[in-house]
Amino acid sequence: MNRLLMILIFIFGFLNVSGCATHSQTPYGSSSFSEDKAYFMLFNDSSLKLDEARNCKPVCSAWYSMGGRKDVGIYEVEIGSEVNINWLADQRHIYIPPEEKIIKINAPGMYFYSTIVNGESGLAYSYVPSNEMLVRAILKYGNDLRSLNAINFDWPDDDMVNSQRESMEIEYRASKSNREILQKLTPFNLRVADLQPPEKFDRSCRALKVTIPGYLPIQEYIRLGFNKELKYAGVYGSDVELTGKVNYARFSSTSGYWEISVSLLSDNGVAFNKAVKYEFSTTWNANSACGRVSWKFNDAVEYLVSEIVRDELFARFLNDISTQKKG
């Protein structure tokens, strides 16, 4: 359904062309693509403002009619340059490496970025650390903006993602207070070796899909976050290897929350369970609200790990492990 929606958006967006059709009469030159430039498209609304100060200029504008008229801007960017985007009052950056047909975007969960690099257009998705986004080709053009045609959606394969997980530097921020607690509680080194996924996780968010930062599965992001906390505390190691499962993970873009439940199990059979609800402000706009769900997942995981570390039952969990190790 999401793929069909995106294809329809592009079809509507480029059938209902306004500025693009008369572009040759504007100060911006021809509406044809230049192979030594990069291009991207974004929806212009009151919450999304483009800073054109850094090598970026508007090429033309169009509009799409699904869900009411919205302006679409297409912008030309110098290869290798950086562009600032303000989205919901936050600084976002686009960087186009000169040696690759890839645009990196720091804008978690924003499905409605389209990019065109050296004649190939793509849908942005979260894939690499720090919520940057890589772009894969989904559109090709003739020689003009008006001849864009949707061909297919190409999402990253699991092997590509798995190969980067262990060394991935996720956005998760370890805290000093958690470090102090863990250093007092943990007389041994430990790590979360494996977390199993929830039986069901629905990424659907209104007509969109929620993206986990780094394009990671739910359980992998939580596992990496917990291990990052252990590393920061200086108690990360393989003396004790924890496994477990994410019992459930669910969200509401309308009410503004994430609910996550996890179970941990030590290699000697000691168990611990924790469930949390992390709340955040939301908005009526579907694009912004669903983007915020993705964006706030990292904060929800930080909250989950902090609540685990501060739980008296977790202290008992570690003590039971320590007692069994001594026995």
Instruction: Render pLDDT for 127-149 as a digit per residue (tens, 0 to 9).
Output: 222 233 333 222 333 333 333 33
pLDDT (mean) for 85-114:
35
With vertex at residue 29, the alpha carbon angle to CA 28 and CA 32, rounded to the nearest 5 degrees, is 115
What rounded mean pLDDT belongs to the chain? 63
Q: What local confidence, expressed as pLDDT, does residue 47 receive?
A: 35
Give the pLDDT band of residue 21 (cuts 50, 70, 90).
very low
Considering only CA atoms, which of 228, 216, 108, 109 is closest in space to residue 164?
Answer: 216
Considering only CA atoms, which of 249, 251, 132 is closest in space to residue 195?
Answer: 249
Lowest-confidence range among 79-83, 176-180, 193-197, 201-205? 79-83
Considering only CA atoms, which of 326, 191, 180 is closest in space to residue 266?
Answer: 191
Q: Are 125 and 140 in contact (CB under 8 A)?
A: no
Report the 10 Å Cβ neighbour count for 238.
Answer: 10
In angstroms, the CA 213 to CA 225 distance is 12
Give the pLDDT band of residue 35 (cuts 50, 70, 90).
low
Q: What local confidence, expressed as pLDDT, does residue 247 receive?
A: 97
Tokens matching residue 265:
């199990």
What are the structural domains, with CATH classification, of the chain? 2-156 (no CATH), 160-326 (3.30.160)
In angstroms, the CA 2 to CA 321 distance is 46
**15 or 174, which is more confident?**
174
pLDDT over 70 (residue 296)? yes
